[in-house]
Amino acid sequence: MGFISENIDKALGAVEKGRENMDYSPQSREVGRVLSVARGVARIEGLGSVRSEELITLGVGVPGMALDLLEDSIGVALLGSNTGLRAGDEAVPSGQVLSVPVGESLLGRIVDPLGNPLDGGPHPETFETRVVESEAPPILMRAPVDTPMASGIKVIDTLIPIGRGQRELILGDRQTGKTAIALDIILNQKKGDVVCVYCAIGQRSASVARVIDTLRSHGAMSYTFVVVVEGDAPSGMQYIAPYAATSMAEYFMEQGKDVLIVYDDLTRHAQAYRQLSLLMRRPPGREAFPGDIFYIHSRLLERSTRLKPEHGGGTLTALPIVETEAQNISAYIPTNLISITDGQIYLSPVLFQKGMLPAIDVGKSVSRVGGRAQAPAYRKVSGDLRLTYSQFQELEAFARFGTRLDQDTRKRIEHGLRVRELLKQDRFSPLNAAEQVVILWTVSLGLLDDIPLERISEVQEYLITKLEEGFESMERLPQAGPKDGVWAELEKAIVHHMSLWREANAAA
For residues 229 and 241, the answer to whether their CB atoms sit within 8 Å is: yes
Model confidence at 22, pLDDT cuts 50, 70, 90, reads low
Average pLDDT over residues 333-360: 95
- Tell me if residue 86 is catalytic: no
For residues 229 and 201, the answer to whether their CB atoms sit within 8 Å is: yes
Pairing state between β 99-102 and 366-367: unpaired
For residues 342 and 167, the answer to whether their CB atoms sit within 8 Å is: yes
- 437 residue type, one letter: V
Residue 169 bridge partners (DSSP): 344
29 pLDDT more than 80: no
The DSSP-derived string for 237-249 is: HHHHHHHHHHHHH
Note the pLDDT of residue 1.
Answer: 52
Residue 78 bridge partners (DSSP): 64
- 79 residue type, one letter: L
Note the pLDDT of residue 465.
Answer: 94
Model confidence at 26, pLDDT cuts 50, 70, 90, reads low
What SS3 state is found at 54?
Answer: strand
Please tell me the distance from the alpha carbon of residue 4 to that of residue 11, in angstroms, as a whole number: 11
- Neighbouring C-beta atoms of residue 91, cutoff 10 Å: 27
The per-residue pLDDT for range 32-73, each reduced to its tens digit, is 999 999 989 999 998 888 999 999 999 989 999 999 999 899
Note the pLDDT of residue 104.
Answer: 95
The per-residue pLDDT for range 447-463, each reduced to its tens digit, is 999 999 999 999 999 99
Residue 129 bridge partners (DSSP): 101
For residues 34 and 88, the answer to whether their CB atoms sit within 8 Å is: yes
Model confidence at 3, pLDDT cuts 50, 70, 90, reads low
147 pLDDT more than 80: yes
For residues 238 and 113, the answer to whether their CB atoms sit within 8 Å is: no
Residue 58 bridge partners (DSSP): 62, 91
Mean of pLDDT over the chain: 92
Q: Say how far residue 12 (Cα) sits from the centre of its chain.
A: 69
- Global pTM value: 0.92
Residue 65 bridge partners (DSSP): 55, 77
Note the pLDDT of residue 366.
Answer: 94
507 pLDDT more than 70: no
Average pLDDT over residues 319-344: 96
The per-residue pLDDT for range 105-133, each reduced to its tens digit, is 999 999 999 999 999 999 999 889 999 99
Strand-by-strand arrangement of the 110-111 sheet: 110-111, 224-230, 194-203, 258-264, 315-323, 169-172, 343-347, 366-367
The per-residue pLDDT for range 233-266, each reduced to its tens digit, is 999 999 999 999 999 999 999 999 999 999 998 9
Model confidence at 378, pLDDT cuts 50, 70, 90, reads very high
Quick one: angle between helices 266-279 and 235-254, nearest 10?
Answer: 130
Which structural domains are found in the chain, ordered by start?
32-97 (2.40.30.20), 100-373 (3.40.50.300), 379-507 (1.20.150.20)
Judged on CB neighbours under 10 Å (0-12, 13-18, 19+), 388 is middle
Average pLDDT over residues 370-378: 90
- Neighbouring C-beta atoms of residue 4, cutoff 10 Å: 8
* CB proximity list for 454: less than 8 A, separation 6 or greater: none
The per-residue pLDDT for range 459-487, each reduced to its tens digit, is 999 999 999 998 888 999 999 988 899 99
- Greatest distance between any 2 Cα atoms in the chain: 128
Which residues in 70-193 belong to E strands, given as ranges? 74-78, 90-97, 99-102, 110-111, 128-131, 169-172
Q: With the CA atoms of 15, 16, 20 and 25 taken in that order, what torsion angle do they form, in degrees rounded to the nearest 10?
A: 50
Q: With the CA atoms of 490, 430, 356 and 210 taken in that order, what torsion angle do they form, in degrees rounded to the nearest 10?
A: 180
Pairing state between β 62-69 and 194-203: unpaired
How far, CA to CA in Å, does 490 sit from each of 40, 91, 374, 475, 495?
62, 71, 20, 12, 9
Please tell me the distance from the alpha carbon of residue 215 to that of residue 279, in angstroms, as a whole number: 37
For residues 45 and 202, the answer to whether their CB atoms sit within 8 Å is: no
Please tell me the distance from the alpha carbon of residue 282 to that of residue 320, in angstroms, as a whole number: 26
Count CA atoms within 13 Å of residue 2 on its CB side.
Answer: 0
Catalytic residue among 368, 372, 427, 455: 368
Share of the chain above pLDDT 90, in %: 78
- Neighbouring C-beta atoms of residue 485, cutoff 10 Å: 9
What SS3 state is found at 475?
Answer: coil
490 pLDDT more than 70: yes
Q: What is the CA radius of gyration of the chain?
A: 30
